[in-house]
A = this chain, B = another copy of it.
Amino acid sequence: MRLFDDLDSGNGYKVRLLLAQLGLRYDWTELDIDTGATRTPEFLKRNLNGRVPTLELDDGTHLAESNAILWYLAESSPFVPSDRLGRAQTLQWMFFEQYSHEPFVATPRYIVKHLPANHARRAELADRLAKGRAALAVMDEHLKARAFFVAERYTIADIALYAYTHVAHEGGHDLEPYSNVRAWVGRVGAQPGHVGIYLRPRASGAEA
């Protein structure tokens, strides 16, 4: 398998973290989202939507959308519950992550880290951070009596939500009010085989 990715992408990190914890080997090709490397005609053949992460399977098929890649890799592993309701609840939190969390926790981080300080998109920050606080409050309430998001054990729902939550401060969020979220961040970081978001995988091959 080959993962097309950007080291700074939390969506890419989800996949890197799961691959590490599954003990799977993969090739890694870094694309710089800031220079349009995911919008070249060549890359659009891999993913029409022009985004990383994109996973190339051994048969040449490409799979996009970080949370769909997590499902593909983890489906029959302990990282996905084995019961029907648990699987649906795992997906519930992964869809929550993409719709109610990522645009308001990840996107502020993108604006702050990747765009010039005088960029017009700075105007979006206040509204996005407010909606991000709402998402963090939902997470904090859910975690009030729970160790993990689903089934009382570490699943890909936790991986999906951890990726941008644990670096939310880089976009201007403050996790201080969310004590349950902070405790959960600690538990996720202590899982066996955990790797950090800025640990660069060994790149291989000539792809770029």
Contacts and interface: CB of A to CB of B under 8 A. Distances in A.
A84 B102 contact: no
Contact of A68 (B72, B88, B142): B88
Given A48-B138, A48-B142, A72 B98 contact: no
Interface string A33-54: 0000000000000001100000
A130 to B, nearest CB: 15
Given A75-B84, A95-B95, A103-B103, A68 B48 contact: no
A63 interface: yes
B138 A96 contact: no
A89 B75 CA distance: 13
Nearest to A90: B68
A141 interface: yes
A68 B177 CA distance: 29
